[in-house]
Structure 1
Amino acid sequence: MADSVSGRLCTGPIPASVGGLPGCRIVLVTALLDPDFCYRVARSRDARFDGQFVLAVTSTGIYCRPSCPAMTPKRANVRFYTTPATAQAAGFRACLRCLPDAAPGSPDWNLRADLVGRAMRLVSDGVVERDGVTGLAERLGYSARHLNRQLIAELGVGPLALARARRAQIARTLIETTGLSFAEVAFAAGFSSIRQFNDTIREVFAATPTELRSKRGRVESSGPGVISLRLAHRSPFDAGALWAFLALRAVPGVEEIDGDTYRRTVRLPHGVGVVALTPAAGHVRAELALADLRDLGTAVQRCRRLLDLDADPVAIDTALGSDPVLGPLVAAHPGLRVPGAVDGAEMAIRAVLGQQVSVAAARTVAGRLAAAYGEPVEPDGARVFPTAEALAELDPSTLPMPASRARSLVALCSALASGELVLDAGTDPAEAVSALEALPGIGPWTAGYLALRVTGAPDVFLASDLGVRRAAAALGLPESAPALDEWARRWRPWRSYAVLHLWNSLSS
């Protein structure tokens, strides 16, 4: 059964309430929405589709997430849109009951390496606010006109409208969770003026900033200068395995695990910050201390990518769980996520440090580099991981590692510092692998590992990884890398998640 809903491949079972047959799978293909299917989803209030599309009600002028608890409107009064920005451009305002702008992001944008997918990730990262549409287009290698045309053709709106929706969501978050003045909120959200801020809030939420603040519920307490937020995700969510992965690789002085809280420093476009992430019921609690509030949206998005919060675990688990070999691993750890990265350059440096050494040895060397070349973050004495620019200037012979690896590290940092190599949310995975393998001392494993963690590519298989091969051998799979790579083709398009299941089976 095929239904055109959100522009991504999904293999989750169709719930009976949505009209599916036992054993059928949903295959969501491109761009145009199937209104009848979307309406069945809305009637069933299936939360799995929150963030994948919104429904707008012509009789009320409001748009909602599919799982909104309000009474389902008549079919004739409903329109469906791929993004909140598209609904806003059509004249609808956000529901203040289900808060559709606070739903998990669409997994579509993390699965796609085409122009629209990469553009959506960069818009979410705040590139339009920092560099404008021209800067976004240059980053993607196209003209601003072509980019605008492609986004309108698929989404119905261009980058300015998408960025406007992002600013509105950030502003609402700050209004409802902080005591900042509205002028400070407007500045932090990226608005160019107080008037633009007020007009946008009224249009998007049908309320003034003062009315939004007066309606807010209980605000979670946090320390002075700290913004506390809830990061939504789709269930199930295996926080235990994800936190264990991060703890094992935590760089001393940069990252730490304190009980259930993962804390780390982050380098952001306008300054540095410290984020603390704690799993809770149905969400991840995030506490952010930022040097510049303009980095709030970017910090939140990078935390989401780090924890893979926009993934569709039901689709992934259904596909991999049907495999006789992976099935028991998936059943033991439903909702396993692929850890991402808050900084592509940092992750690339750490990947080179981890070549041919244990995880413990790699984190020790990374900790030494952070202590020697990272900037201190006051007042807790933690450090930000050193920049590629700082490390590119070093003499390889002074680094605490074999000479060949030190030369590879400096060459990598030079490429990152010069802009010859860019690793961020908008990077095409295939282009990243090609560019990385062209550098001295970087082979398929390092390039593949970075494609998996930095770009969020869902279908990377590290057949040469020692841990993957050990886990595969324990399951009775082929031991040689070429044979194992051939075997793993049956796990497409979720081989990145298969890698995590194999790694996790070793620790289990």
Structure 2
Amino acid sequence: MLTSDQCYQAVTGRDTRFDGMFFTAVSTTRIFCRPSCPARTPKRTNVDFYPTAAAAVEAGYRACKRCRPDVSPGSPDWDVRADVSARAMRLIRDGLVDRSGVDGLAAALGYSTRQLGRVLHAELGAGPLALARSERVRTARTLVESTAMTMSEIAFASGFASIRQFNETFKDTYGVAPGQLRTGSASVQSEDIAVRLAFRPPFDFDHQLNYLRYRAVPGIEDVGDGRYTRSLRLAHGPGVISLTAGRGNFVTCRLRLADTRDIGAAVARARRILDLDADPTAVHATLTGAGFGDLVALVPGIRSPGHSDPVELSIRTVLGQQISIGAARTHLTRLVDDAGEPLPEDMAGGGVDRLFPTAEAIAERPDGSWALPRRRIETLRALAVALATSEIDLGPGCDRDESAARLLELPGVGPWSVGYIRMRALGDPDVLLASDLGVKKALDALTDSGSTITNAQLEAARPWRSYLTHLLWAAHARAAHLNPPQS
């Protein structure tokens, strides 16, 4: 956690690296900003710092109209930390409070509502309802500015219980009524919703696309022309997202949703896919300090890509054990064709026309439908049953260690698969897949070039060893002049 002096130093330098990690509140203007706000730097005696926008609003501040703190990148803390506050934030951003209320959030975390409120107030400066409201109003502003929906439609699509609550929260946060932020561009009806997703530079978008392209499963994913498109299974219906590089430090996300109540969850999943909340400065500094500076220079803007559906990723990982990515893609394509659910006609297109099968559908699939060894079929079925019955939780609020331990209890699921699931499905930034062939070859190549890689160096790479894993894969792929590694 940053000290107040460190926060003020970042504000003085208008350091964009800290946008989203904390918010600066100015007592004389009652406005809160991102650290890089271009306005005149306030006096140190006039500022306070808050870990979340919700905390600043709760303290009586409204968002700056100039620097737009509501569109800052998310804090990387929620992936690095595994405590209840981080798990709660991941669930809130996935829309659990909107769907199940604060009681549902507390139950998912194994806390009483009162206990959870105390923990979040102490850690984040606001309770679960205020944190959820902050996410709702950010979603609402996106819909106000980018769609022609009526204000009442926006209010309920964003998760507000009433139009009055929507208007009051909007005024508390932005200091104006919702209609005052509607622009002329929003008057044109469109089936798609366009959202700008902020990130901290550098970001090698092309490298990310190549990684996703090599693993894309036809029907549910498509990568081409600088664009990644995939279907999503959301709480209120299906959706399709399309991600392209935008201007400046933004990715453009176009969404087509069956129900606009899912916009917040869809955006959160899009950010997870591209790892847009990463802090590359911290990653680079740690890995360089551990002796991996040459690797960092190889792909300065590398990310550790996540996934939109942990159930899908876990099935894909176990199915692909001990076979090539190409062979795994063939099996997965057959699975999607046979058991995937067709998208509505107005949503399908561009090579994406289906949803990945549910865990229940996979569990019920007969042996004859799989062209796999019997033991692999049994492992897949056991995994699908465990996911369908919630015996294993891979959701955004799960306890990573507990989920990993339960996965390892399944016959046929080994440490490599569990590590890969932790890294991509659960967003764990500190997974080193040391047993992976590509990682081993890359480490051997570093040793052959005169660099002695020690266990102490690998330990010093914490908590960013997932990024080290991806850098080692990239180094191996480039050295061998191959496509991205089969891992």
Scaled by the length of structure 1, the TM-score of the pair is 0.89
Once residues 239 and 45 of structure 1 are traced to their aligned partners in structure 2, the CA distance between those partners, rounded to angstroms, is 25
Which residue is 2:461 aligned to? 491
Local SS of the residue matching 2:264: helix
Which residue is 1:310 aligned to? 277
Which residue is 2:484 aligned to? none
Q: CA deviation at 1:321?
A: 2.3
Local SS of the residue matching 2:304: coil
Once residues 168 and 397 of structure 1 are traced to their aligned partners in structure 2, the CA distance between those partners, rounded to angstroms, is 50
Q: CA deviation at 1:77?
A: 1.7
**Which among 398, 413, 424 is matched to residue 453 of structure 1?**
424
Matches within 5 A, 1:81-480: 81-213=50-182, 216=183, 224-281=190-247, 282-324=249-291, 326-379=292-345, 380=348, 382-476=353-447
Once residues 185 and 448 of structure 2 are traced to their aligned partners in structure 1, the CA distance between those partners, rounded to angstroms, is 52
Once residues 433 and 203 of structure 2 are traced to their aligned partners in structure 1, the CA distance between those partners, rounded to angstroms, is 23
Give the direction of change, closer, same or farther, for the CA distance of 1:74–1:163 in structure 2 (3 Å limit).
same
Residue pair 2:234, 2:265 contacting (<8 A) in 1 also = yes
Give the direction of change, closer, same or farther, for the CA distance of 1:96–1:83 in structure 2 (3 Å limit).
same
Once residues 442 and 174 of structure 2 are traced to their aligned partners in structure 1, the CA distance between those partners, rounded to angstroms, is 51
Greater mean deviation of Cα atoms: 99-108 or 147-156: 147-156
Q: CA deviation at 1:433?
A: 1.2
Which residue is 1:37 aligned to? 6
Once residues 63 and 99 of structure 1 are traced to their aligned partners in structure 2, the CA distance between those partners, rounded to angstroms, is 9
Residue pair 1:344, 1:424 contacting (<8 A) in 2 also = yes
- Give the CA RMSD over aligned residues: 1.8
Amino acid at match of 2:151: F
Give the direction of change, closer, same or farther, for the CA distance of 1:477–1:119 in structure 2 (3 Å limit).
farther
Which residue is 1:53 aligned to? 22
The structure showing larger relative contact order (alpha-carbon pairs under 8 Å, at least 6 residues apart) is 2
Local SS of the residue matching 1:266: strand
Once residues 507 and 241 of structure 1 are traced to their aligned partners in structure 2, the CA distance between those partners, rounded to angstroms, is 12
Amino acid at match of 1:315: A
What is the aligned-residue identity percentage? Answer: 51
Scaled by the length of structure 2, the TM-score of the pair is 0.93
Structure 2 residue ranges without an equivalent (≥5): 479-487
Q: CA deviation at 1:219?
A: 6.4
Give the direction of change, closer, same or farther, for the CA distance of 1:410–1:83 in structure 2 (3 Å limit).
same
Once residues 105 and 373 of structure 2 are traced to their aligned partners in structure 1, the CA distance between those partners, rounded to angstroms, is 39
Once residues 179 and 369 of structure 2 are traced to their aligned partners in structure 1, the CA distance between those partners, rounded to angstroms, is 57
Once residues 73 and 331 of structure 1 are traced to their aligned partners in structure 2, the CA distance between those partners, rounded to angstroms, is 37
Q: CA deviation at 1:263?
A: 0.5
Local SS of the residue matching 1:390: helix
Once residues 61 and 134 of structure 2 are traced to their aligned partners in structure 1, the CA distance between those partners, rounded to angstroms, is 12
Q: CA deviation at 1:445?
A: 0.7
Once residues 448 and 85 of structure 2 are traced to their aligned partners in structure 1, the CA distance between those partners, rounded to angstroms, is 38
Residue pair 2:286, 2:460 contacting (<8 A) in 1 also = no
Once residues 362 and 283 of structure 1 are traced to their aligned partners in structure 2, the CA distance between those partners, rounded to angstroms, is 33
Q: CA deviation at 1:378?
A: 2.7
Local SS of the residue matching 2:376: helix
Local SS of the residue matching 2:242: strand
Structure 1 residue ranges without an equivalent (≥5): 6-33
Once residues 339 and 397 of structure 1 are traced to their aligned partners in structure 2, the CA distance between those partners, rounded to angstroms, is 34
Residue pair 1:317, 1:330 contacting (<8 A) in 2 also = yes
Once residues 267 and 383 of structure 1 are traced to their aligned partners in structure 2, the CA distance between those partners, rounded to angstroms, is 10
Residue pair 2:290, 2:458 contacting (<8 A) in 1 also = no
How many residues matched? Answer: 469
Once residues 317 and 219 of structure 1 are traced to their aligned partners in structure 2, the CA distance between those partners, rounded to angstroms, is 40
Residue pair 1:461, 1:485 contacting (<8 A) in 2 also = no
Amino acid at match of 1:391: I
Once residues 450 and 340 of structure 1 are traced to their aligned partners in structure 2, the CA distance between those partners, rounded to angstroms, is 9
Residue pair 2:148, 2:186 contacting (<8 A) in 1 also = no
Which residue is 1:21 aligned to? none
Residue pair 1:321, 1:331 contacting (<8 A) in 2 also = no
Greater mean deviation of Cα atoms: 95-104 or 467-476: 467-476
Q: CA deviation at 1:220?
A: 12
Q: CA deviation at 1:484?
A: 7.8
Residue pair 1:174, 1:180 contacting (<8 A) in 2 also = yes
Local SS of the residue matching 1:230: strand
Q: CA deviation at 1:506?
A: 2.3
Amino acid at match of 1:448: G
Once residues 286 and 401 of structure 1 are traced to their aligned partners in structure 2, the CA distance between those partners, rounded to angstroms, is 37
Once residues 111 and 442 of structure 1 are traced to their aligned partners in structure 2, the CA distance between those partners, rounded to angstroms, is 25
Q: CA deviation at 1:429?
A: 1.9
Residue pair 1:266, 1:384 contacting (<8 A) in 2 also = yes
Amino acid at match of 1:404: R
Local SS of the residue matching 2:447: coil
Residue pair 2:22, 2:49 contacting (<8 A) in 1 also = yes
Amino acid at match of 1:92: Y
Amino acid at match of 1:80: F
Residue pair 2:80, 2:463 contacting (<8 A) in 1 also = no
Residue pair 2:439, 2:473 contacting (<8 A) in 1 also = yes
Once residues 243 and 431 of structure 1 are traced to their aligned partners in structure 2, the CA distance between those partners, rounded to angstroms, is 31
Q: Deviations over 1:462-486 (max 9, x none)?
A: 11111211222222279xxxx9867
Amino acid at match of 1:100: P
Once residues 239 and 497 of structure 1 are traced to their aligned partners in structure 2, the CA distance between those partners, rounded to angstroms, is 15
Q: CA deviation at 1:363?
A: 1.3
Give the direction of change, closer, same or farther, for the CA distance of 1:459–1:188 in structure 2 (3 Å limit).
same
Amino acid at match of 1:239: F
Residue pair 2:73, 2:199 contacting (<8 A) in 1 also = yes
Once residues 110 and 454 of structure 2 are traced to their aligned partners in structure 1, the CA distance between those partners, rounded to angstroms, is 36
Q: CA deviation at 1:357?
A: 0.4
